Amino acid sequence: AEGWGAGAGGSSHPATPSPQSPAARSDRADPARASDDDEERADRGLMERAVVRVVTPGTVVEPALLNDRQNSYLVAAIVEGNRAGLAYVDVTTGEFAACQIDERSGQEALQRELARLAPVEVLVPGPDHRRRRDPRGGDGDDPLSLPVAARLSPYDAWHFDLETARDALHQHFEVEALDGFGCQGLPLAIRAAGAVLQYVSETQPAARLQLTSLRTYSTAAMMTLDPATRRNLELTRTARGNTEKGSLLWVLDRTQTAMGGRLLRTWINQPLLDLAKLQARQQAVAEFVEDALRRRLAMELLAKVPDLERLINRVGQRIATPRDLLALAAGLRRVGELRGALAGDDLAPEARIAWLAQRLDPVEGASELVGQAIVPDPPTTFAEGGVIRPGFSSELDQLKESSRHAREWIASLETTERERTGIRNLKVGYNRVFGYYLEVSNANRAMVPAHYIRKQTLVGAERYITPDLKEYESIVLNAQEKIAELETAIFRQVGEQIAASGERIRATAQASALVDVFAALAEVAVRQGYVRPSLDEGTRLEIHGGRHPVVECARPEEAFVANDVSLATDSTQIVLLTGPNMAGKSTYLRMTALIVLMAQIGSFVPAREATIGLVDRIFTRIGAQDDLSAGQSTFLLEMLETAHLLSQGTPRSLLILDEVGRGTSTYDGMAIAQAVIEYVHNHPKLGARTLFATHYHELTELEHVLPRVRNYRMDVLEEGDRVVFLHRVVPGGADRSYGIHVARLAGIPRAVTRRAEEILRDLEQGKRGRAGRRTGRGEPADGVTQLALFAELHPVVEEVRHLDVLALSPLEALTKLFELQERAREKGAAF
Ligand code: ADP
């Protein structure tokens, strides 16, 4: 136990009164004390017991158990039909927010929120022990599966009842209505918020004090990212190694403080759709890019700013130690310097840096108070005294002075009494029964002064006390305890005073985090040569000289080949990118998604120039080959995901489809790929900007039939039988897959690749025989286009030709597809 009033052998903790330890007392009072522990234990008495805290993953506040660059979220989630409610708390920072999800598929939106927040613990309505109505769970709520590794804690369902939850919130915030928090009319948000509040109150009562307000938010203001897309884009962790190194966060995180680190992570996980907000962020980054001196200075000062947010939270929870207060005060002084370094007459009044500087309130009163009250290097417990600075409390100073005086008086007693009485071997001693005594051997008994009071007779000596000795003794014995008590009380008072400035300090912490993130984004922008993208609400996407932010950093020794991207809903809606494996298709697709995402957190981007019409949602679909371990057939999984994805896009979405259809046989795969492209192209509501990468070069035919499809390919250089990948995206379609070349690159034995070349030659000749009249053009027929290529390959195609794809629901499409596949297999011989 550390913190106010705690400490080994210290005085009582506010919540866990523990008796004063006599051992500790006599230990210090007398160097020559007899040790007689059994005797001491007897007067300890009963310890008062109460549960002061239940430790769960979501309520941990111990710095050693926390990742300081990551929020520690405790979430409560409730699902009702299509709707869902979610609330989260970070007990280490006091953040408390709630939202209600009213989307068509609330479950899924909830999963997305969970993936974004990556909570450590999730509360869900559990068996109702109080009402015992449904032993299995809440009121028929669907069970929740978590997209993240968090502890799922069932919490009695009645906590989620609207009335109970609302009452809890009313009581906590001391309000009559929740209008001020923006959650009126959002019953599921209220139920989740009330539940999480009750849980915190039960497990971590002190933390409840820190939840000073509730923010209601809407997921509609954020870019939608499903859990798979987060993984695919490797925003904060790599997909394979699950390490931060190699993620986007790893590239961008040049923040100096833990607060800034947490904020940047939050931003990366939550790109915005609000143009004005984004432009304000860009402006701040731009100013730091241009003003290298201020940026450097800010970063240097920030490096010395501790985690003010968690520190003030500890103060508010009454668990701060003297060292925490010192760190807080030192941090606030740094913030004062930072404010000075940022502000200046040279800044335009509308400069974002000036705006930020204004928000860096150093709360001088707080740091001064700590400086006056607490010694620079305090002991870790209060038991010894010495935490409070001399001069801060005259009561304490007097107490210490009289204790010191009494101690000195006893220490010199032997000498003074020997001189006074002439008894040369007079001794001052201490025992547990009588306390301090004067001991005179029998030989000198006659010389003992009259005022000595005899206390004990030993074999060769007598022991005495005097009234003075007893008085000083009691001062010495009680002083230690009193000093510890008084220091604790003073410290607590100081803490209360600092806690009273909690809101101001919290605001300062948030402003420091902002400065930190802006300076960091500017630093990366300068070092990596990023530009400020131009943002608008249109549906274009133009990138000139774009680079993949992570690949270029991960392999600085290899020059990264910059590429352009040009998409627009009404002209180049779909880019069909072909090229051999390993040519750089995936890198190009991810680069585009990451540049958009970076732009929508307010960052500069790795490009020469970029214009980005804000994207409401990034979908990624990456060929399912690696998902075998999930247990579902990759084909089924892929179809489910793709169908689902296609049903949710809007003209402002960005689709990143990489090797869709790879999870099955070639013709199946190609058919799926083509169907998907047609759907995206022809769907009247979809119209999403799309990058589609495939090694099925046959699909390039689609450019001729679908007006908004453009072919691009990865440029390769052929030198004899060698292929060099140039990683350059150029107009036009690839005409073959080079798969065998790649196999050779990968070290497959020469004999195997040579044989494969033979087979390929045979196959290609055979195919040309069958599909010789490839027209390259087909007419769109009731929204479905058909390529001659497939028409001649299989009778099942006949049926596909007449299928009204747009009239099918994703599930019907899937069922149909299975049926078609079955039939295709039956007639497999025809192939
Ligand atoms: P594909 O998706 O076509 O199979 P990848 O995108 O996986 O190919 O890229 C293959 C390799 O080429 C990767 O190791 C990647 O680092 C490298 N690469 C891709 N694009 C570029 C580029 N523009 N400049 C330099 N190296 C690149």
- The 10s digit of each residue's pLDDT in 139-194 is 444 556 777 778 889 999 999 999 999 999 999 999 888 888 988 889 999 999 99
Distance (Å) from CA 585 to ligand 1 centroid: 7
- Residue ranges of the alpha helices (H) in 51-131? 106-117
pLDDT at 135: 45
DSSP-derived secondary structure for 491-538: HHHHHHHHHHTHHHHHHHHHHHHHHHHHHHHHHHHHHHT-BPPEEESS
pLDDT at 621: 81
Distance (Å) from CA 594 to ligand 1 centroid: 15
Closest C-alpha among 491, 487, 455, 447 to residue 473? 455
- Position 4, amino acid: W
How many Cβ atoms from other residues are within 10 Å of residue 419's Cβ? 11
Mutational pocket test of ligand 1: of 727, 737, 742, 745, the residue with most ligand atoms within 8 Å of the beta carbon: 727
The tokens for 458 are 């030993």
pLDDT at 685: 76
Sheet arrangement for strand 151-156: 151-156, 121-126, 74-80, 83-90, 95-101, 215-216
Atom of ligand 1 nearest to the CA of 589: 6
Contact 331, 308 (CB under 8 A): yes
Contact 150, 122 (CB under 8 A): yes
Atom of ligand 1 nearest to the CA of 555: 16
Q: What is this structure's pTM? A: 0.79
pLDDT at 3: 41
- Position 653, amino acid: S
- What span, in angstroms and rounded, lies between the C-alpha atoms of 738 and 581? 8
pLDDT at 771: 39
The kind and range of the H/E element at 622 are strand 617-622
Atom of ligand 1 nearest to the CA of 558: 25
Mutational pocket test of ligand 1: of 587, 594, 694, the residue with most ligand atoms within 8 Å of the beta carbon: 587
- What span, in angstroms and rounded, lies between the C-alpha atoms of 384 and 377? 13
pLDDT at 749: 62
With a 6 Å cutoff on the Cβ, whether 586 touches ligand 1 is: yes
- Residues lower than pLDDT 50 in the chain: 1-42, 134-141, 625-632, 768-792, 828-831
SS3 at position 215: strand
The tokens for 596 are 């958009």
Annotate 57-95 with three-state secondary structure.
HHHCCCHHHCCCCCCCCEEEEEEECCEEEEEEEECCCCE
Atom of ligand 1 nearest to the CA of 658: 2
The tokens for 484 are 């510890």
With a 6 Å cutoff on the Cβ, whether 561 touches ligand 1 is: yes
Q: Residue with the nearest Cα to atom 20 of ligand 1?
A: 584
pLDDT at 626: 46
In eight-state DSSP terms, residue 131 is T
With a 6 Å cutoff on the Cβ, whether 550 touches ligand 1 is: no
Q: Output the CA–CA distances (angstroms, integers) from residue 716 to 248, 250, 558, 722, in the order listed.
A: 28, 31, 17, 10
Query: Is residue 288 left, alpha or beta, with left meaning phi > 0 and alpha meaning psi from -120 to 50?
Result: alpha
- What span, in angstroms and rounded, lies between the C-alpha atoms of 476 and 740? 90
pLDDT digits (tens, 9 = 90+) for 79-93: 988 899 999 999 999
pLDDT at 11: 36
With a 6 Å cutoff on the Cβ, whether 585 touches ligand 1 is: yes
pLDDT at 180: 85
Distance (Å) from CA 12 to ligand 1 centroid: 64
Distance (Å) from CA 247 to ligand 1 centroid: 16
pLDDT at 627: 44
- What span, in angstroms and rounded, lies between the C-alpha atoms of 646 and 103? 16
